[in-house]
A = this chain, B = another copy of it.
């Protein structure tokens, strides 16, 4: 993560609102909650691609796990703020993918992160190939 600026053409944009549950006694969004915002956006990105995670698990036994997260917090968000969360697929392997995500408010960058997602078997938590139905829908 070098110099930070809003990504020009994300693969997906998702909108979240800041509620009381998201804030802490500093009066701002609790930093760990950006991971929740990022995940909601990833989930809706997958859903927009036609992939529901519960359905994927029921049909293939595969679930996603988060292998690594790196988040940089730049400016605080506050109660009632309307945030835009973006998703960019940076790299895709057979069993994992790297995503770049940002949180913006009126075009101003508040936080950004890189998230590594792995595909595992839900029962054993062992790494496995992502199901074909998912792979064929991911952007190149």
Interface, chain A (partner B; CB < 8 A): 17, 19-21, 23-28, 30-33, 35-36, 39-40, 43-44, 47, 52-55, 63, 65-73, 76, 78-80, 122, 125
Contact = CB atoms under 8 A, between A and B. Distances in A.
Contact of A21 (B20, B39, B63, B68): B39
Given A19-B36, A21-B36, 17 more contacts: A17-B40, A19-B39, A23-B24, A23-B25, A24-B25, A27-B27, A31-B69, A32-B32, A52-B80, A54-B80, A65-B76, A67-B72, A67-B73, A68-B70, A68-B73, A69-B69, A76-B125
A25 B67 contact: no
Nearest to A43: B19
Closest 4 CB pairs of A and B: A23-B25, A32-B35, A54-B80, A31-B66
